Every structure is written in C-alpha cells, then in structure tokens.
Chains A and B, each alone.
Chain A
C-alpha cells in the first residue's frame, strides 16, 4: 500500500472510563527513528502493548506493511530479558528457531560467527562467549537489540526501544545511539521511547508527544528543540497540594552531609520541620537511591545522615528507632507482608499500647486501632482490617503502608514514588495525608519521577543529575516545566533558576 512499515490509524483504548489512548495515529517508515515522548501514564506503554498484541484496541486499526512483505515488530523492554549466566551467543540463540529439531545439536561455530558479525554491525566487537552478566549496561542493550533482529531475520522490522538509555551515561549512551542508528540504516523502523530530550533532538527523525492518551504534537527533525518539547510535555500547571505553611520553621529535622552511595556522588541538604522536600531526577541520577540510603536500607559509602541530631543510616532498625519512616516504591515487595492482614501490617512497626501485662498482643484492641487508622486514611472497603493485604487495590495498599508509619508519628518521612500505580482518587488522599503529616511537624522527602506530583506537592524540590544535586526550585520558580527541563533537558533549554551546582 505505502512504503510505511507500520501505520496506526485512530487507535483508541480505554480502561473503564479512562482513555489510555484516544484517536492515536502514527506511521513508521523504513530507516526512520520515531521518538515517542510523554509523561508516565501518558499512554506510551499502552500503545506499545496494543502494538505487540498484549491489549486489544477498542477502535482504530494497525497495518503492518504490505501483504507480500509484512512487517514484524520487536520490543526491547527496559528489562532486557537477557539471562545473565548465559553467554552472548547463547542468549541470542534463544531467539533462533531451531526447526526441524530442538534436539539436533546447534552448530556452534557457525552460530558464533554469525552473532559476532551481527554485533559488529551494531558497533560491538566482543568475544561472544562472554557471559551477558559481565557486560556493561549499554553492551547488554545492544545484545538485546541484536537478539530482536535475530528473530526478525531478513524481513522488514520495526524495533521498539523502551527507555534504552535510562540506565546509561555519557559514552555508554553514545554507544547505544550508534547501534540504533545502525539499525535504522539497515532499513529498520525504530520507535524510540525516552525521557531524555537531548538525545531525542539528536537522534529522532520525528518526535511524537503523547499526553493523556492523545497525540498532542508531532514534529519533524529540525522543527523542534528541547524547549519546545519541554513546553509541550509539561503543559499547564497543576494545583498546589501542600500550601507550605509559609513560616516553615528553622528547625532542621533531617540533615544530610557529604553523602556518597553507589549512584550518589556527594549530596548535602537539609529538611526542616513541616517541610515537604521533593527530589526529582531520572532513573540512574541518584534520585531513586536516595531515600533507601537515608533510611539505611542500603548503606551509604560515606557521609553523615542526622535525624533530630541523631546519627542514622547504618540500618533500617536504627532509622526506625530515630523516628524515620520509609515508604518504598514497590509496596508489594518491600513495603508490606502480603499474606498478613491489614491489621497485622498496620501494627508491625509498633505494638506499644496494644499489649497486655504479660506482653501478649491484645487482638481486640489491635483490631480497633487498625480499624480506626484505616478509617482515618480512608481505606476501602471500610472495616476490612482482617482482609489480607495483597487483596487490597494498589491505592488502598499504599494508604495502609502510609498509615503503618503515620501511626508511629515519625519525625522524618521518606517516600519513593508515593502514587505509582495508584488511582486518581487515592492519589489526592495520599497527597492530603502527606501534607497533614508535614503540618503536624514531620520533615518529608518525596522522591518521584512525576514532575507534576513534585510541583504540586512539595515546598521545595532538589534535582539530581548524574549523582549530584544540580538544581533547587521553590516558591514561584517551582513549576512543572522547570522540573521537566531540569531533569530531562540538558539544562540550556529553559531559563535555569536557583541552580547551585
């Protein structure tokens, strides 16, 4: 029909009443790199899932090239799906079909030669017997791309790369960019999902911005720069959730000096009583590792962390004793005991006040306490204190985890991605709980990849970049677009404010 490898027309997909995709159209031509941009939840991953057949679209259609030469799609996820203990050749071999016989020995020599040649094409000259686990992150990504090609054979291919450079820096990212260019040069169409605007400007033939499931902009190479993209992605300013009790006290509750950890290269900051501090940054910038380090979940390489003058950071137990609460991003794996009831999860941090004189837990009192807290944080269903934790919805689970800590009246509350995977209603309530805790005197640190969340919830936001604090925003300068610019653009794109590097 046309020379498009892939053509998407008026695609829509709704979950309940919420449109994840609305009337999305796009094309990918041979040799073209199309960047797909947008916030978390803007519909990028839904689009990929519809394309790869995980979801069925409600309406619209997708055509895959012409009938005699159909296009095949290959998705390289952020989790590359490589097996660390196997060699490069073995990993790629997993993608090869071995008809007629799975039991016929593989032709190792030929296979290894082919793999080596293919990797050279992508700029990776390496011994193919190296276990994948020993490769650098960029090398692994290239192996994953090569593997996707192996499946495609010599046909027409569209390659979807989901944030391939999220964990890469400098040289490493360049290595990957070259591989992507090589793939496009070989006639492949590339859909490139990224949060990093500089590389998008450099790499993409076309940039498509999604917002709330709709295509809000489509720009060809040369017709956009980073500041255009920042403006389109950020859009309007969200309402403020924590009207900072302006006279934020001078009482410093959390003081971090000279902190070094695996992905943090020197951080100094303070959080005062009643203040909500946001921490922005991309994955790998140090943002996602900060709270865990402050809490002592992972120990810092060096530096001091003081809570109300007490030194912490050695272990989680020590932090809890000092009055620190930590709500991890993954509440299922790290924040809760799934098979415990809501009641047992809620009281796990402290049983004082619930004990009989013999030191036994008084279950009836515990249940009353749990029920009252679940009411305060508005967990649905009401009164379900005995329900197993993992049977609650995401938003309610998060409220229970929050309540578990709020019960202990913590002086410092550390939250990672507090509203990830949480519905909008629960999101508002979680913001309310965080604000109230701050108003009651806690110092709050919110690490989030959602700039809108940080802009609306926090009194002050610090931005991490390559392991160091690259900027600080507060008051009128704390806007979503400023944060978007500071985290994903290379800095020069928008007026920088209050930067103290």
Chain B
C-alpha cells in the first residue's frame, strides 16, 4: 500500500460520506428546499439571519466540546448560559455597572462556576454527569434569585448595538463565534495541551500514567467551558436586548446534539470543533427549510432528535467511533456484570 496518499484521494476521503456525512446531508437539504421553496429558501436574508441566530447555540456547543473531549459531561451548560445572560443584565440594569466591567465580571463569574464544578468533580470524585446535573439546578436557583422570575428589560444601547452591528453581512456575534472556534480548534487539534485533553478523554488512567496531570486537565476544560458559555450568555442578552430567566436550558439539547453529531464528522469519533460547527448549521438549515415550508411547530424538535440518533447510530455501527458509543458502553457493562461462564456442561 502506498504510504503517502495522493492529494486527490485525501480530499476525497476528507469529504466522503463516512468522514463528513453532514456535508452531504447539507447538500441534500439545500437541493430539496431549493426545488420546493426556492423563493424563500434561497433568499440571501434567510442565510444571513441563519448565521446570526445560531451563534449562541454554536458557542454553547463549542463550550461543550471542550470538556467532552476530556471525557466530562456538562449538563449544566444551558444553565450556565442562562446565568451569564441574567447576570450581565442584572449588573447593567439592577446594579447599574458600565458595560465593560459588567461583561468582565460576568465572564469571570462564568469561569468561576466552571472552576467550582471542576473541583467538585475532581476533589470529591463525583461523576461529571451527576455533578453538572446538580450544578444545573443550583444555577437555576441563582437565575431566579437575580431575576425574581421576571425578565430584566432596558439594556444599555451599547450592548444592544454590539449585538446587532454588522461587518458587511456578518454580525459581531458571528465574528466572535468564528474567532472562538479558531482558538478552540488551534488548542484542541494543534497543541500538546489539546493532545492531553483528548488523551484524558480517551483513557483517563493511561493518560495519568503517561504523566499527564489529568485533574488539572478536567478542571481546566470546565473553566474554559464556563468562560465560553459566559460569552454565549452575554451575546444572548445583547441580541435580545433583555435578560430572560427561562432562556438558558433551551440551549442544552441543541448544543449536545451538535457536539455529538459533530463527533461523527471529520475526526472519526472525536469531539471536534469544525464538525460541531458544521452540525449546528446543518441542523439549523434543515429546521429553517422545514419552517419555511410551513411545517407544523413540532417538526424542528423531531428533526433534531432524529438527526442525532441517526448520525450517532450510523457512526457507531460503522465502528468509526473512537469514543465508545453509549450502546457499546452499555453492552460492555452488561458483559462485565454477567456471572461468568458456561458452568453447565454437556454429556458425552
């Protein structure tokens, strides 16, 4: 076999269905809706607004990818977005801080939440699944405390302007998303730190025995996740012009869907940035097309759910996945729990 694949074969492999099914799904979506509803689906405005409206989901998904890469679940990520969104509004309106310190403090608090969560997971050996679930509830309480259950209105115009200003066709929030994605991609894929994060997620014990300080990695990824979800939360408030106490948790499922769907793209089972970003927009394009076609309101949720199940199912049945799929993990569990061996025997 040739050791150096040709450029052509590498490109073909890179965009092949097994490696990047979402691209092909996107092609199908575009073709189908271009035929059925060309005048609305192909309008430039549809696409520019699509890029902008998905920014918060996309940043939340990026935030999620980082701890997932290190093997930690963060079910509190939606609540973290909610807290940050509420906190920045609370500081600006209820406390009356200027914009820059309010945003700075909000981001610092978001990172602190991540730090606390990481320390709880590492120090008290609480499974990240459970710890983040607990934090999710705590953060919901914090949101209610700050908001009293009501929206905070009357955001200063600097913040609202920032949330809606454009460079050519791209809004500021979208540019922030791209910048964050570039940074995350660089760190995860190109640096020794990223390699250690993936190693920690791939095999915690082996990573530790290779001299990696896995506890620091786990805490660090949750701090980064907190910081990014803080950015997402500030952008929610900036784009809406108010702080809504109910908004955070709604981001959890789309972000998870995109992160898992993204893990089936490009990197053969590893959580990764570009796959996640692509997934956010493929899902959004599909939902948008359905909405423009006049589909009933329950369709988008169903679409997201099916997309996740099909994508992950296909990936694990093709055994692309590095991270064992949920199915494989359950199967493994069943095997180990089984009483050993055929103790019964045959006759001659």
Contact = CB atoms under 8 A, between A and B. Distances in A.
A104 interface: no
B323 A319 contact: no
Contact of A70 (B3, B339, B348): B348
Contacts of B186: 360
Which of B337, B338, B343, B345 counts the most A-chain CB atoms under 10 A from its CB?
B343
Contacts of B338: 81
Interface stretch (A39-47, A193-201, A239-247, A320-328): A320-328
Contact of B203 (A71, A83, A338): A338
B191 A361 contact: yes
B343 A148 contact: yes
A77 B340 contact: yes
Contacts of B190: 360-361
Contacts of A148: 343
B192 interface: yes
Interface in A306-325: 315-317, 319-321
B295 to A, nearest CB: 38
B202 A334 contact: no
B346 A64 contact: yes
A64 B340 contact: no
B345 A64 contact: yes
A135 to B, nearest CB: 16
B348 A67 contact: yes
B198 interface: yes
Interface stretch (B74-82, B124-132, B147-155, B205-213): B205-213
A348 B209 CA distance: 11
A351 B340 contact: no
A76 to B, nearest CB: 8
Contacts of A67: 347-348
Interface residues of B, number: 36
A192 B344 CA distance: 18
B18 interface: no
Interface string A54-72: 1000000011110100111
Nearest to B340: A81
A295 B213 CA distance: 14
A53 B198 CA distance: 41
A95 B348 contact: no
Contacts of B3: 383
B210 A404 contact: yes
A349 B345 contact: no
Given A333-B206, A336-B206, A338-B322, A82 B346 contact: no
A292 B286 CA distance: 52
Interface in B109-125: none
A81 B337 CA distance: 8
Contacts of B205: 333-334
Nearest to A150: B343
A52 B341 CA distance: 9
Interface string A416-453: 00000000000000000000000000000000000000
A74 B344 CA distance: 6
Contacts of B139: none
B270 interface: yes
Contacts of A94: 339
B348 A337 contact: no
A119 B236 CA distance: 66
Which of A71, A81, A82, A297 counts the most B-chain CB atoms under 10 A from its CB?
A81
A205 B321 CA distance: 53
Contacts of B345: 52-53, 64, 71-74
B254 interface: no
B89 interface: no
A500 B195 CA distance: 47
A74 B195 contact: no
Contacts of B322: 338-340, 388
Which of A53, A336, A348, A360 counts the most B-chain CB atoms under 10 A from its CB?
A348
A18 B202 CA distance: 35
A288 to B, nearest CB: 15
A344 interface: yes
A317 B339 CA distance: 37
Which of B186, B195, B270, B348 counts the most A-chain CB atoms under 10 A from its CB?
B348
Contacts of B341: 52, 75, 77, 81
Interface string B205-235: 1111111110000000000000000000000
A95 B338 CA distance: 11
A334 B212 CA distance: 13
Interface in B309-348: 322-323, 337-348
Nearest to B341: A75
A149 to B, nearest CB: 10
B199 interface: yes
B275 to A, nearest CB: 15
Contacts of B344: 72, 74, 151
Nearest to A158: B345
A351 B195 contact: yes
A222 interface: no
B163 interface: no
A362 to B, nearest CB: 9
A449 to B, nearest CB: 20
Contacts of B206: 333-337
A437 B339 CA distance: 43
A185 interface: no
Nearest to B216: A317
Interface in B175-211: 186, 190-192, 195-196, 198-199, 202-203, 205-211
A79 interface: yes
A74 B341 CA distance: 9
Contacts of B203: 333-334, 336-338
B10 to A, nearest CB: 11
A326 B202 contact: no
A328 B211 contact: no
B323 A339 contact: yes
Given A340-B198, A340-B199, A63 B191 contact: no
Which of A148, A316, A351, A355 counts the most B-chain CB atoms under 10 A from its CB?
A316
B348 A65 contact: yes
Contact of A95 (B191, B199, B269, B343): B343
Given A52-B345, A95-B343, A361-B190, 20 more contacts: A52-B341, A63-B348, A64-B345, A65-B347, A70-B346, A72-B345, A74-B345, A81-B340, A82-B339, A315-B213, A317-B208, A334-B206, A337-B206, A337-B207, A338-B202, A347-B195, A348-B196, A351-B195, A361-B191, A404-B210
18 contacts: A53-B345, A62-B348, A64-B345, A73-B345, A74-B345, A148-B343, A316-B211, A333-B206, A334-B206, A337-B207, A339-B269, A344-B199, A348-B196, A348-B199, A348-B212, A351-B195, A361-B190, A361-B191
- The 7 tightest CB contacts between A and B, nearest first, are A339-B322, A320-B211, A81-B340, A70-B347, A73-B345, A337-B202, A360-B190
